[in-house]
Each structure stands twice: as C-alpha cells, then as structure tokens.
Structure 1
Amino acid sequence: MKIRLKLTLLFTVLFAALLLAFASVLYIAYAENREDEYFKRLRQQAITKANLLLDARIAPDVLQLIYKNAPNALSEEEVAIYDTTFHLLYHDAVGIDRVKETAKMINRIVRVKEIQFYMGQVQAVGFLYAHNGSNYVITAAALDVYGLKKLNNLKYTLIICFAMAIILTLVAGSFFSKKALRPVSKMVKNVEEITATNLHLRVDEGNRKDEIAELAVTFNQMLDRLENSFDAQKHFVSNIAHELRTPLSTIIAELELSLNKERNIYEYKEVIQLALADAKKMAKLSNGLLDLAKANYDPSNIAFKEIRVDEILLDARRQVLKSNADYHVNVVFEGEIEDDHYITVKGNEYLLGVAFINLMENGCKFSDNHQSTVAISFHNQRTILRFSDTGVGIAPEDLPNIFTPFYRGTNKKYADGNGIGMSLTQKIIRLHGGTLSVVSDLDAGTIFTIELQHV
C-alpha cells in the first residue's frame, strides 16, 4: 500500500472516529433532553387536568369528552387520578387504559413519590399529588410523536451528514496527500534519472525548510560522497595501472633483452638484480594498497584493543632498521612516564605500526644522513609523537597535496616511492581518532606530528 493511500485512509479513519463520537454525543444528548422535557410535560398536563377536576369541579364525563374529541387523541396524554387507597376518581379512557395501574404500582408511587417508565415507545409518569390537604395518585402516559419524529429526523440527518463528510474527507485527503507527497514523487523521478554515468545530477531541494527538503538535502549529500568516491576510485585505478605498468614494462624489457643473445653469468646476474628490484617495488606497492584498503574499513570491522605506543614504536623501528641497514632512527622520551596510561591508546597494533614505519622511512630516505628522530611526549588527554628529519624538506606548493593518494611532489627525484605512504598514514591516524600535521622547510627538514588520545 502506497504512503499516499495510507495517509488518506488514516486521516479519514481518524476524522470518522471524531465525527462519529461527536454525532453520538449530540444524538444521545438530544434524546435525553427530549425524554426529560416530555416527562415534565406529562406531569404538568396531568396536574392541569387534576386541577380542572378538583378545583373547577368539571364533571369527569366532560373531561372525557374533551379527551375523545381532541384532534390528536391517539397521542394525547392519558391521565388517571386515584386516591391513595387505589380508588379511581378519574380516567380519560378506561377502555384503553395504557398504564394499567395496579395496587402495587399505587403503593410504590405513594412510597417513592414519583416514578417514570416506558411501555414500548409510550412514556408514562406516576406521582403523588397533594391538594387541599389530601393526597392523590396521578398517572399520565402518551406517545411523543412530534419529539420522536424530530429525534428520528436528527438521526437520519446525522447519518447523511456523516456519510457526506467521509466522502469529502476521502476526496480532500487524497488531494492533500497527493499535494504533500508531490515533492517525493518529483524526487523519485529525479533519482530514477541518476545513474553511475551521471552522478553529477542532484535532487531538487525545494524550500530547504521542511522534512522532505531535509531528506533531499541529505540525499544530495550522499550523492556528493558517492560521486567523490567514484572519482577517487577512477583516479585510484588509473594510478594503480600507471604504477604497475612501469615496473612490469621494465621487467619484461630486461628479460627480453637477456633472451636476445647469449650472455655471461655476470650479465645474467645483473638482469636478475634489476628484475628483482622492480619486483620488490611491485611487492611494496601491493602491500601498500592492501594496507590502504584496510585503513578504509569501517572502524567497527577492525579489532581495537589497549596497546602501548612506545612498544609499537620500538617494534616499527626494528623493522625499519632490519629492512634498511643504512637507516638510523632515534627514539627520544621527552618526559618520564609516571603512568602507563599516558602512552596507552586504544587501536590496532598492525595499522599503527604501518603508519609509524612509513613516517620513519620517509624521514630517513629524504635525508642525506638517512636519519630520523621520533620524540614522545604526553599530557593529560593525548599522546604526542613527532617524527623529524633534517632532509630536503617539502616545497610549499606540495604541502597541501602530500596526503593525496599517489601524489608525488618535486622531491621525488631524491628517492623512489609510489605516493601511497602519507595517504595511508593519514587514514590510519584518523581511523584511531587522532590527528596528523606536518611542518616543513626546504633544505631544513620536516616534522610530522601525531596526536592520539590515550586511555
């Protein structure tokens, strides 16, 4: 069932319930008021006839004649007057006798003073009437033809009005729900036009004030992220193809040249060494791409635990020195560690190790002395690591782009690389809720600063 139909039906049911409750209360209130008014009228008419009999001394047969000749004799009040001993003093129509009084009824009226009851639709009242020091029991009964007719007319009027109101509500609800959901229908049409080939298209945001406009704004923001992701993916794939093509082409060319003619063992060794160097570059690129993929995972899918930063840092230093015998990495503690939690963070040991290794190797390979210094400090909230070197530095125009995947600045002539390391490091630090900043001066060195919140 569509939302438009649901809204229409819900609105109609709600309105119908309210209208039905209102009509019911109105009908019941009118019926009770008619009943009370007619009982009062019966009592008053009975008292009037009793006064005519007792005070005016009008003969009973005259009163009966008046009753019989009344134009609405069938609905005229039928009055009977008794004394308290059940002796009939007067009756409008003994032959009809709608009430059919009994001694038990007369005694009850004497006891409770007044009773009201129904005989089918005929209303009847019996009451004790005091007159000139004597008590009389008077009963009166009649059918409220006019009042019941009005009540019946009211019932049919309410039913007709209720049915018409429901029909109008359905029509109005359908119209207003269609109008209210028109932006949604328009949004659906816009979304149907958006495909992977035209992600630049956007949904109309309307007045940017109501909930539907808020949904459109949120959807457009999602499209922005998707478009950026697609563009980054295209750029990423293009760069990977470029980075892999160069070493592969070199390996293929070197191997083909070595097969063209017989060579001595030293020449074959030289070709093998060149091919091996290119293969190592490809392996390093592959490992970097895998690490970059891990760093892009949802944090909920990565195992985090409490780990000591200094231990990961020293382990990363051992790996760097093992892979590069001519590198030198110094680790300096700028303050005495009084509490382990100052250098304990919640994170992933492998990913943080990759980030630290990238910064250490980066500092060493761009320095003439192949040396990098890591300084550890901390305060109440964060652990701070500064990776510094005295190398060639980074040009000011390159600084804004150093964390862009596959970007290589003007200092690429000093060392090989594929432009993944810094981007990967930044993603890892952000994944751990930290920050990574850089300060650099040409020919003076570079300082990368990591701040991580400790436990």
Structure 2
Amino acid sequence: MKIRNKLTLLYSLLSAGVLLVFALFFYLSFANDQKDEFYNQIKQHAITKVYFLFDLNIKPEVLQTIYANNTRRVINEEVAIYDKSYRLIYHDAENKDIVKETPKLLDSIVRNNEIRYKYNDYNVTAFTLKHDNETYIITAAAIDRYSQEKLHTILEYLAIAFSLSLLLIVVAGRFSAEQALKPVSNMIDNVEEITANNLDARISVGNGKDELAELAITFNEMLNRLEKSFNAQKEFISNIAHEVRTPLSTIIAELELSSNKQRTVEQYKQTVQLTLKDAQTLAKLTTSLLDLAKASYDPTQISFKTIRIDEVLLDAKHQLEKQTPSYHIAIDFTEIPDGEDEITISGNSYLLQVAFTNIMENACKFSEDQSCEVKISHQNNRAIIDFIDHGIGISNEDLNKIFIPFFRGQNRSRSSGHGIGMALSQRIINLHHGEISVSSILGRGTKFEVRLPHV
C-alpha cells in the first residue's frame, strides 16, 4: 500500500473515530437527559394527583377517567398511592397494575425514599411523599413514546451526518496526503533526473524547515560526497592516462632500441640505468597519484586520531633526508607553546606526513643550499607551521596557480617533477579543516604557511 493511501486511511479512521465518539457522547447525553426529564415529569404528575385527591377532593373516578383519555406526551401513565401501612388508597388502573407493588418493593421504596427503573417499555419511578403530616408511597409508570421517537429521529440524523462527514473526511484526507507528499513526488522526479553526467544537480529543499527539507538536505550532502568521489576517480584516471604515458613510452622506446641490434655491455648498462630511472619516476608518480586520490575522498572514509604536529614533522624530516641525503631540514621548536594541547590535532598521520614532505621537498629543490627551515607556533586556537626557503622564489603569475594539479611554473627547468606535490598538500590540509597559503619574493625565497585547528 502506498504511503498516500496509508495516510488517507489513517487520517480517515482517526477522524471517523473522533466523530463517532462525539456523536455517541451527544446521543447518550441527550438520551440520559430525556430520561431524567421524563422521570421527573411522571413524578410531578403523580404528585399532582395526590393534591387532586387530598386537597381538591377530586373523586378517584374522575382521575381514572383522565388517565384513560390521556393523549399527551406521557402515554399510559399509571399512578398508585399507598399509605404507610401499605394499604392501597388510589390506583389509575388496578385491573392493569403495571408496577405490581409487592411488600418487598414497598419496603425498598421506604428504605431508599426513591427508586427508578425500567420495566419492559415502561419507565417506573417510586418514591415517598409527606402530605398533611402523612407519609404516602407513590408509584408511577409510563411509556415515553415521544422521547423514543425523538431519539430515533436524532439517531437517523446522526447516521446521515456521520456518513456525509466520513465521505468529506476521506476526500480531505486524500487531498491532505497528496499535498503532504507532493514534495516527496517532486523529490522523486528530481532524483530520477540525476545521472552520472549531471551529478552537480541537487534536490529542492523547499522551505528548508520541515522533515522533508532535512531529508532533501541530507540527500544533497550525500550527492556532494558522491560527486566529489566520482570526480576524484575521473581525475585520478585522467591523471594516470596523462602522466603515466610519458615514462612508459620512454621505457618502451629505450628497450626497443636496445633490442634492435647488438650492443656493448656498457651500452646495456646505460640503457638499464635510464630504464631504472624512468621506472623509479613512474613508481614515485604512481604513489603521488594514489595519495592525491586518497586525499580527495570523503573525510569519513579516512581514519583520524589525536596526533602531535611536531612528531609528524620530525617523521617527515627523517623520511625526506633519508630519501635525499643532500637535503637539510631545520625545525625550530623555540616557539612551541608550553601546553601540549596547542600543537595536538585530530588528523591522519600518514597524509599529513605526505603533505609536509612535499612542502619540504619543494623548498629544498628550489634552494641553492637545498635547505628548508620549519617553525612551529600557535595563534587563535590553531597550530601554525611555516616552511621557509631562501631560493629563487616564485613569480606572481605562477603563485596563483601553484596549487593546480600538474601545473609547473617557470622554474620547472631547475628540477624534475609532475606538479602534483603542492595540489596534494593543499587537499590534505583542507581535509584536516586547515589552511595553506604561500608568499614569495623573486630571488629571496618562499614561505608556505599551514594553519591547523587543534583539538
């Protein structure tokens, strides 16, 4: 069953239930009021007959005639009057005797002063009455046909009103369900239009306040993550196709040349050395591309833990100096805050080490003395790491493009590379909710500044 049908059914059942309870309450209250009113009326009629008998001295035969010809609301009212000795003083129709007053019944009346009950179609009230210092026991019974007909009419009206109301409730429930689920229908239409070719499309969030808006916002956030991962995969594949082709072509060409004719051992060694260099370049490129792809993923897919910035920097320094012994990295710890928490962040140690290594390597490559100075400080709840070199600097034109993947500036002739390192470092820093900026002066050097929020 569709949700709109479920909502319509639930709304109709609840509304019909409330309406039915209201109708029953009204009917039963009205019936109870009518019954009390009728009991009081026949009681008053009975008391009136007592006054007719004892105060106006009307003969019992006259009262019996009135009883026989009664056509008013109180139908077939029968009144019987007994004295305290249970002796019958008056009876409207002794031959009929609807109530059948037994000594036991009369005892109950005296004990309770008044009792009311239903006997077949008759409403019976029996009570004691003091008149002229005498106590009388009076019973009165009658059929309230007028109230019964009125209640029957009211019941018919209520049934008709309930049926019509139920029909309106179903129509209103269907309309309300359609309106309530209209945003869902629109959402479904939007989702059906989203494909791999237009992952940038998003679902309308409506007023942005209700639960459906929250669902749309959550779905859009999921699309953001999917689009980011999808673009990262496409970019990764494109990068591989673009960058891996060159070293592979070089390796193939060198091996084909070597296999075309006989060469000397020295020439073969030279070919092997060139091939090995290209293979190492290819391996380094592959590692960089894998790191770049990993840094483009959703942060929820990467494990984060509490780490110290100084420890990650030391690991990056040792790794780079081991990889290239001619590089010299000096880390200045003099401005490290006293509090350990101020240089402690939540992050991925491996990725940050990759980012720091790339920045240090970039500084060393473009410095005459192949050195890099690193300073650690703290400001406004952020750990600050400065990477400073005294190299050739970067032009203003290149400075704006330095974080673009595969971009290589005017100084690319001074060092080999693929233009991945800085783009990879920026993505890793952004992944850690940090910031990276660069400033440079041609001929004097460059400074990269990394800001990371501490825990």
Query: SS at 2:75's partner residue?
Result: coil
Cα deviation for residue 311 of structure 1 reads: 3.0
Which stretch shifts more, 424-433 or 276-285?
424-433
Matched, 1:244 2:231: no
CA spacing shift, 1:220–1:409, aligned 2, 3 Å: farther
CA spacing shift, 1:13–1:336, aligned 2, 3 Å: closer
> Contact between 1:384 and 1:451, CA under 8 Å: does it hold in 2?
yes
Provide structure 1 residue ranges, at least 5 long, that are not aligned to the other structure. Answer: none
Cα deviation for residue 223 of structure 1 reads: 4.5
CA spacing shift, 1:393–1:343, aligned 2, 3 Å: same
Matched, 1:448 2:451: no
**Partner residue, 1:133:** 133
Give per-residue Cα distances to partners, 1:398-424, cap 9 Å, x unaligned: 334433333333333332222222232
Structure 1 CA distance, aligned partners of 2:310 and 2:228?
Answer: 37
Which stretch shifts more, 2-11 or 35-44?
2-11
> Contact between 1:84 and 1:106, CA under 8 Å: does it hold in 2?
no
**Partner residue, 1:253:** 253
Give per-residue Cα distances to partners, 1:288-343, cap 9 Å, x unaligned: 12323443455455444444433332232222122213222112223366454444
**Partner residue, 1:114:** 114
Structure 1 CA distance, aligned partners of 2:55 and 2:326?
Answer: 139
Structure 2 CA distance, aligned partners of 1:255 and 1:388?
Answer: 42
Matched, 1:277 2:314: no
Matched, 1:435 2:426: no
CA spacing shift, 1:215–1:351, aligned 2, 3 Å: closer
Which stretch shifts more, 213-222 or 330-339?
213-222
Q: Aligned AA for 1:10?
A: L
> Contact between 2:336 and 2:376, CA under 8 Å: does it hold in 1?
no
Structure 1 CA distance, aligned partners of 2:218 and 2:396?
Answer: 36
CA spacing shift, 1:299–1:284, aligned 2, 3 Å: same
**Partner residue, 2:419:** 419
Query: SS at 2:290's partner residue?
Result: helix
Q: Aligned AA for 1:143?
A: I
Which stretch shifts more, 303-312 or 354-363?
303-312
> Contact between 2:77 and 2:142, CA under 8 Å: does it hold in 1?
yes
> Contact between 1:247 and 1:281, CA under 8 Å: does it hold in 2?
yes
> Contact between 1:374 and 1:388, CA under 8 Å: does it hold in 2?
yes
- What pairs with 1:211-360 in structure 2 (closer than 5 Å)? 212=212, 216=216, 219=219, 223=223, 226-227=226-227, 229-335=229-335, 338-360=338-360
**Partner residue, 1:406:** 406
Q: Aligned AA for 1:353?
A: Q
Q: Aligned AA for 1:118?
A: K
- The total of aligned residue pairs comes to 455
> Contact between 1:395 and 1:442, CA under 8 Å: does it hold in 2?
yes
Query: SS at 2:275's partner residue?
Result: helix
Structure 2 CA distance, aligned partners of 1:130 and 1:74?
Answer: 24
CA spacing shift, 1:304–1:197, aligned 2, 3 Å: closer
**Partner residue, 1:44:** 44
Query: SS at 2:176's partner residue?
Result: helix
Which stretch shifts more, 13-22 or 412-421?
412-421
Which stretch shifts more, 39-48 or 343-352?
343-352
> Contact between 1:84 and 1:107, CA under 8 Å: does it hold in 2?
no
Which stretch shifts more, 178-187 or 48-57?
178-187
* TM-score (structure 2 length as normaliser): 0.90
**Partner residue, 1:105:** 105
Matched, 1:168 2:168: yes
> Contact between 1:347 and 1:432, CA under 8 Å: does it hold in 2?
yes
Structure 2 CA distance, aligned partners of 1:277 and 1:192?
Answer: 50
Cα deviation for residue 249 of structure 1 reads: 0.5
Structure 2 CA distance, aligned partners of 1:428 and 1:261?
Answer: 49
CA spacing shift, 1:73–1:428, aligned 2, 3 Å: closer
Cα deviation for residue 84 of structure 1 reads: 0.9
Query: SS at 1:398's partner residue?
Result: helix
Q: Aligned AA for 1:182?
A: K
Which stretch shifts more, 73-82 or 34-43?
73-82
CA spacing shift, 1:293–1:97, aligned 2, 3 Å: same
> Contact between 1:70 and 1:76, CA under 8 Å: does it hold in 2?
yes
Identity %: 52
> Contact between 1:205 and 1:216, CA under 8 Å: does it hold in 2?
yes
Structure 1 CA distance, aligned partners of 2:236 and 2:350?
Answer: 23
**Partner residue, 1:146:** 146
Query: SS at 1:446's partner residue?
Result: strand
Q: CA RMSD in A?
A: 2.8
> Contact between 2:73 and 2:144, CA under 8 Å: does it hold in 1?
no
* TM-score (structure 1 length as normaliser): 0.90
CA spacing shift, 1:311–1:208, aligned 2, 3 Å: closer
Which stretch shifts more, 373-382 or 158-167?
373-382
Structure 2 CA distance, aligned partners of 1:387 and 1:338?
Answer: 21
Query: SS at 1:254's partner residue?
Result: helix
Structure 2 CA distance, aligned partners of 1:368 and 1:185?
Answer: 65
Cα deviation for residue 375 of structure 1 reads: 1.2
Cα deviation for residue 217 of structure 1 reads: 6.1
Structure 2 CA distance, aligned partners of 1:166 and 1:129?
Answer: 51
**Partner residue, 2:187:** 187
Cα deviation for residue 33 of structure 1 reads: 0.6
Structure 1 CA distance, aligned partners of 2:181 and 2:100?
Answer: 68
> Contact between 2:225 and 2:298, CA under 8 Å: does it hold in 1?
no
> Contact between 1:67 and 1:73, CA under 8 Å: does it hold in 2?
no
Cα deviation for residue 21 of structure 1 reads: 1.9
Cα deviation for residue 370 of structure 1 reads: 1.4
**Partner residue, 1:95:** 95
Which stretch shifts more, 413-422 or 229-238?
229-238
Structure 1 CA distance, aligned partners of 2:284 and 2:28?
Answer: 88
Matched, 1:3 2:3: yes
Give per-residue Cα distances to partners, 1:41-71, cap 9 Å, x unaligned: 0111111122222222222222222322334
Query: SS at 2:361's partner residue?
Result: helix
